[in-house]
Amino acid sequence: MIEYLTTDRHALYVVAAYGATAAILGWLVWTTLAANARARREMQDAEQRRKR
Amino acid sequence: MSIWRYANPAEFMRITDPLVAPLWGAAAVLLAVGLWWSVALTPDDYQQGSTVKILFIHVPAAMLAINTYAVMAVASGVGLIRRHHVSFLVAKAAAPVGAAFTAIALITGAVWGQPMWGTWWVWDARLTAVLIMFFFYLGYMALWAAVEEPEKAADLSAVLCLVGVVFAFLSRYAVNFWATLHQGASLSVAEGQRVDDAFRTPLYLMIVAFYLFFVAILLVRARTEIRARRARSLRLQEARA
């Protein structure tokens, strides 16, 4: 890996492409799971209040 | 039995609940294997060198950028015609996913283009159509966020989505209509095999992995939208009581 990064003239382009993809998909998964947890909590709270 | 029963939010939640975890798992495994194969096991291309490895993420992302828009358009059309809330919510849930794939396709394409074409960007028909489609994704999400009344937001954003279909279509077929710098389809049933086996197998693997990831994240986002809508409805009932 280190050899590839130091010797291949296109290594920076490949790493940049994979890095940008990982960052975007990571952000997408993180925001999706966070929003899902928030919506689940809000719905449970609202249903409990209604039952009371 | 009518397929429209699946448009019932409770039914949708019941059916999709057992699917989410296996889809995440399958997507994670295939992505891990696909990435390892693409990065570590494929040889450099004789012309592109190691930049050929960028295409293992660029091609699936570009396919999903266009196909996610198609999913949104179908869901929006069904929502407008049949007045099913779940259809509107599926379209809304798909938009950030499609925008993310479009951004990945544009960025990885530019990063590949610089060493191969000698430029980050050209106003080529396909690239321009994809960029405009990206703006439609952003506009669609902005419209949903800007209109407070959910029914009105759903209708207006569905119409905007249907207007943008022309750019999703051009993103796919521009290379057939005009002579573009962007090459034509590499994977084509009609044209036969145009990609060497060494690259084709990991590329197919990455495409399947991206599609599984798309379905998994779309289901989670659609379920989130349904829950948020239910919570809003309960809050409104509470406020009225």
What whole-number distance in Å separates Cα of residue B195 and Cα of residue B201?
9
What is the mean predicted confidence (pLDDT) over A42-48? 89
Of B103, B227, B237, Cβ closest to residue A43: B227
| Predicted-complex ipTM score | 0.91
A23 located within any domain: yes
A49 band by pLDDT with thresholds 50, 70 and 90: confident
β-pair partners for B188? B192
Residues paired with residue B192 on neighbouring β-strands, in sequence order: B188
Q: Which of A26-40, B16-30, B37-51, B177-191 has the least mean pLDDT?
A: B177-191
Q: Which domain holds residue A51?
A: 19-52
- Is A10 among the domain residues? no
The domain tally of chain A equals: 1
The pLDDT of B117-130, averaged and rounded, is 94
Average pLDDT rounded to a whole number, residues A18-31: 97
Average pLDDT over residues B2-18: 85
B39 touches chain A (CB under 8 A): yes
pLDDT value at position B81?
Answer: 94
Tokens of A13: 């382009």
Q: Which residue of A has its CA nearest to B223?
A: A36
Calculate the alpha carbon distances from B148 to B84, B107, B144, B153 in Å.
19, 33, 8, 7
pLDDT of residue B132: 97
List CB contacts (< 8 A) between B49 and chain A.
Answer: 8-10
Q: What is the DSSP string of chain A?
A: -HHHHHH-TTHHHHHHHHHHHHHHHHHHHHHHHHHHHHHHHHHHHHHHHHH-
Would you say residue A37 lies in a domain? Answer: yes
| Residue B107 pLDDT | 97
Q: How far apart are CA B130 and CA B169, in angstroms?
A: 10
Alpha-carbon distance of B98 to B61, in angstroms, equals: 9
**Contact residues, chain A, for B107 at CB < 8 Å:** 17, 20-21, 24
Do the Cβ atoms of B230 and A46 come within 8 Å? yes
Q: Determine, for residues A14 and B51 on separate chains, whether the beta-carbon distance falls below 8 Å.
A: yes
Q: Is the residue at A5 inside a domain?
A: no
CA angle, corner A25, sides to A20 and A31, nearest 5? 125
The answer to whether residues B117 and B83 touch, using CB atoms and an 8 Å cutoff, is: no
Looking at residues B107-125, what average pLDDT do you find? 94
Residue B8 is predicted with a pLDDT of 85
CA torsion A43-A47-A50-A52 (nearest 10°) is: -130
Average pLDDT, chain B: 91
Q: Is residue A9 a part of any domain in this protein?
A: no
Taking the Cβ of residue B61 and every Cβ of chain A, the question of whether any pair is shorter than 8 Å is answered with yes
Predicted confidence (pLDDT) per residue in B55-89, tens digit: 999 999 999 999 999 999 999 999 999 988 899 99
pLDDT at B105 (0 to 100) = 97
Contact present, B84 and B7 (Cβ < 8 Å): yes
Mean pLDDT of B9-25: 94
* B110 has a chain A CB within 8 A of its CB: no
Q: Is B108 exposed, middle or buried (0-12, 13-18, 19+ CB in 10 A)?
A: buried
Q: A22 to chain B: which residues are within 8 Å by CB? A: none
pLDDT in tens, B25-55: 999 999 999 999 999 899 888 888 889 999 9
pLDDT at B211: 97
Q: Is residue A27 in some structural domain?
A: yes
